Amino acid sequence: MKNIAVLTSGGDSPGMNACIRAVVRTCKYNGINAFGIMRGYQGMIEGDIKELQSMDVSNIIQRGGTILKTARSKEFRTPEGREKAYQSLIKHNIDGLVLIGGDGTCRGAVEFFKTYNIPAMATPGTIDNDLAGSDYTIGFDTAINTAVEAIDKIRDTADSHDRIFIVEVMGRDAGYIALHSGLACGAENILIPERRDTMQEVIKRIADNTKRKKLMSIIVVAEGDELGGAMHVDKYLKEYFGNIDTRVSILGHIQRGGSPSCADRILASRTGYAAVMGLLQGRSQEMVGVINDQIAYTPFTEVVKLRLPMKDDMMEMIKVLSS
């Protein structure tokens, strides 16, 4: 193996640059040429590939986002698009790939490697923390700390005004950010896609708090919750209680940005290094994760089939600690 290319795909996450750095430096240490593919699978289709030297990844470990840019490619979902991507790799003599991304990245890889036989490894780059094969994903720790900092500040003003604040965090299909940040901030209600919540339960909790003269509440909602996100929850509460004093705060893309935490930098470095070493050992079509603090390898086909299970004890803990 002489030429290994790395790309970042899907939503960006803090720590992607640290992973890119680890891939490039590990390649160089082992006498392998490192290449960067710009804008994920779309850049692969267009042949937007450039060689990277060690100096190209200097001073990026602390930066959020991704120096390789990222995109979601509709064209890559077609056989024609994947054929173009393969021809671009052949043109640049790429004989190994490292993919940094989430569920969509692995799904794209599964389709690609049904037809084309280029060795590839992936690392779990997503703030959602929803990939089977790793206890945590690159960017999750930073995202929840960003959310916690924001919710703590919101709680100050909620307490000052005796208001109910409904805080929406990211998580279209997964509630890990809502669960962890809500638990860390002492939220009175946490609404996530993995759990069937009803407005009756939320209303009962608020009514019980009111009886105890607790007029301030924080409700953390994952954007993909079945009740429809923060705006819909707010609408339900106003319709039921009438003159209830509520405010909605949608944290949005602030959770994706910022300098990665120490935990994310280390996770990104470990998985980036292990991805290259895996290729050199003859591994392919596997995601590198960390389980119980040990490097673990999970086939792409398993990653896209399974989800990281939600811990039941944490769900039960919410009820107890917010009572």
Residue found by looking up tokens 């790793």 in the block: 134
Query: Does residue 141 carry a catalytic annotation?
Result: no
- How far apart (Å, rounded) are the C-alpha atoms in residues 289 and 271? 6
Query: What number of CA atoms fall less than 13 Å from residue 208's CA on the CB side?
Result: 11
SS3 78: coil
Among 210, 204, 213, 214, which residue's Cα sits nearest to residue 240?
Answer: 204
User: How would you classify the pairing of strands 3-8 and 96-101?
Assistant: parallel
Among 87, 104, 127, 92, which residue's Cα sits nearest to residue 40?
Answer: 104
Among 153, 152, 111, which residue's Cα sits nearest to residue 304?
Answer: 111
Type of residue found at 106? C
Q: Of 12, 128, 130, 225, which one is the catalytic site residue?
A: 128
Which amino acids are annotated catalytic?
128
